Copies of this chain bind each other. A is one copy, B any other.
Amino acid sequence: MTDPDVRAEIMTATYEALCEHGYTELTAQDIADKTDKSKSLLFYHYDSKEDLIVDFLDYLLEMVDERITEFQSADPVERLALFVDWYLYGADDGDLQSFHTAMLELRTQAPHNDRYREQLRRSDERLRVALERILEDGIATEAFVDHDPERTAALLIAAIDGARIRQLTLEREAYLDEVRAALVARIFDELLAESADFPVETESPSEIDSDSNAEATGDDP
């Protein structure tokens, strides 16, 4: 894959086809139908559906990296709030719900698929390290009290991921707001130094940047 425009077109088509068909039922033809290219041209670029999905997971990881970089300029408390709301509330419309369902199907393949698992592990690593950095920076600037950023990051990622999966599979919308409120009351308020407050609500990701579909998902990877 050398032409970035062709790759971007195929990646956008893959995103749209996943929203429409889910992962399990997805065919190369479904993806080709979302481009002005033929299925055979798709297989000129990718040897298999698996190859294409592995590259799509790379593409999502690039979006995650971009988003994390965008957060850098804010102070640690604001960065923590931006990270949590981006990762928690990514799924804010019907299309993103479909995309998250497709991603959950794909993640369910990971125990049997080394290449998917490898990509998802890279994404997990990236997210946990980004959160750890935010917490470490906050300890350094004395915005947060001293604590263990590595474990706290793992807990936050697990809690947000769990809340999203339960909201999605149970259609119990309250999960997201309840878990955010509990994160603030039970964890962030305890972490914050006396002088600081945790933001009630941050600007939603779609308000910050609505240029790209995949950019606003906050999904794994």
Contacts and interface: CB of A to CB of B under 8 A. Distances in A.
A198 interface: no
A79 to B, nearest CB: 18
Contacts of A97: 111
Contact of A158 (B111, B120, B166, B190): B166
A6 interface: no
Nearest to A169: B110
Nearest to A109: B169
A169 B107 contact: yes
Contacts of A111: 97, 101, 168-169, 171
A105 B166 CA distance: 14
Contacts of A124: 166, 170, 172
Q: Give the most central of A152, A154, A166: most B CB within 10 Å.
A: A154
Contacts of A159: 155, 158-159, 162
A193 B92 CA distance: 39
Interface in A88-109: 97, 101, 104-105, 107-108
Interface stretch (A37-45, A52-60, A180-188): A180-188
As for how many copies of this chain the complex holds, the number is: 2
Interface in A104-146: 104-105, 107-108, 110-111, 117, 120-121, 124
A185 B190 CA distance: 11
A147 interface: yes
Contacts of A120: 169-170
A50 interface: no
Contact of A151 (B150, B169, B182): B182
A126 to B, nearest CB: 12
A170 B117 contact: yes
Given A121-B172, A154-B179, A155-B186, 13 more contacts: A104-B108, A107-B165, A110-B169, A110-B170, A111-B169, A117-B169, A120-B169, A124-B166, A124-B172, A155-B159, A158-B163, A186-B190, A190-B190
* 5 tightest A-B CB contacts, nearest first: A162-B162, A158-B162, A155-B182, A159-B159, A151-B182
